[in-house]
Amino acid sequence: GNSVTQMEGPVTLSEEAFLTINCTYTATGYPSLFWYVQYPGEGLQLLLKATKADDKGSNKGFEATYRKETTSFHLEKGSVQVSDSAVYFCALEKGAGGGSNYKLTFGKGTLLTVNP
Amino acid sequence: DAGVIQSPRHEVTEMGQEVTLRCKPISGHNSLFWYRQTMMRGLELLIYFNNNVPIDDSGMPEDRFSAKMPNASFSTLKIQPSEPRDSAVYFCASRPSSRGRGYTFGSGTRLTVV
């Protein structure tokens, strides 16, 4: 079946440090890939996405590139801020047959804490 | 666009009581999902609907849990009777029919069963 594996946290960084959160997936075909962010006390928000191989999703300084050859979608940011402290979830979307019964499979989440 | 609306935001109830959580998806979205999040188990998919029809309820923990979607703009998740181990944050999410758009999540209902 489909699965997503992301690096376990927690990850603790100082402000302006470089961030990488690794994410690899298992799925047949060409799933769509997503990163979601959950700030304390809130629901998950879509951060960025990529729907085909070699696509780069980007938002708020975060980037991730869909690598089919390594089945990866690592999240990166060049300079993190305290306000980036949150839980980050990698996810894939894969359909079942030709209909619209497709759903997201989430990783377990990575807690990021950025200290001033 | 008001987003996915969940109510109540917080619910505290006594063990054995019935609890009903409510969700209004984004207009035009045809799929709706109920998730539960706890520290121990993380994010768990309980059930999802496509065009108001339940597609997969394999994540519903037991018969005490039930979910309905009587129309495209409203869904409920009911727990009867509630137990302390049901304490969690419950999220509703909706998604349009087109692939690659991802889900939009509500702000969640924090349920505490004492």
A2-29 per-position pLDDT tens digit: 899 998 889 999 999 999 999 999 998 8
Q: How do the pLDDT tens digits run along chain A, 116 residues long?
A: 889 999 888 999 999 999 999 999 999 888 999 999 999 989 999 999 999 999 999 999 999 999 999 999 999 999 999 999 999 999 998 765 545 567 788 999 999 999 99
Structure tokens at A59: 């938002």
Q: Do the chains contact at A46 and B102, CB–CB below 8 Å?
A: yes
Name the residue in chain A with its Cα closest to that of B56. A101
Structure tokens at A97: 């047959």
Question: Which residue type occupies B24?
Answer: K
What is the structure's pLDDT at A95? 64
Q: Do the chains contact at A42 and B42, CB–CB below 8 Å?
A: no
Q: For residue range B44-74, what is the model confidence (pLDDT) as tens digits?
A: 999 999 999 999 899 998 899 999 999 999 9
Q: Note whether B95 and B3 are within 8 A (CB).
A: no
As a residue count, chain A comes to 116
What is the structure's pLDDT at A100? 53
C-alpha closest to that of A8 among A30, A23, A25, A29: A23
Q: Do the chains contact at B31 and A42, CB–CB below 8 Å?
A: no
Residue A108: DSSP 8-state = -
Distance separating alpha carbons of residues B66 and B99, to the nearest angstrom: 28
Q: Do the chains contact at B50 and A42, CB–CB below 8 Å?
A: no
What is the structure's pLDDT at A98? 47
What is the structure's pLDDT at A101? 61
Name the residue in chain A with its Cα closest to that of B94. A103
Question: Closest partner residue to B55 among A45, A49, A101, by Cβ?
Answer: A101
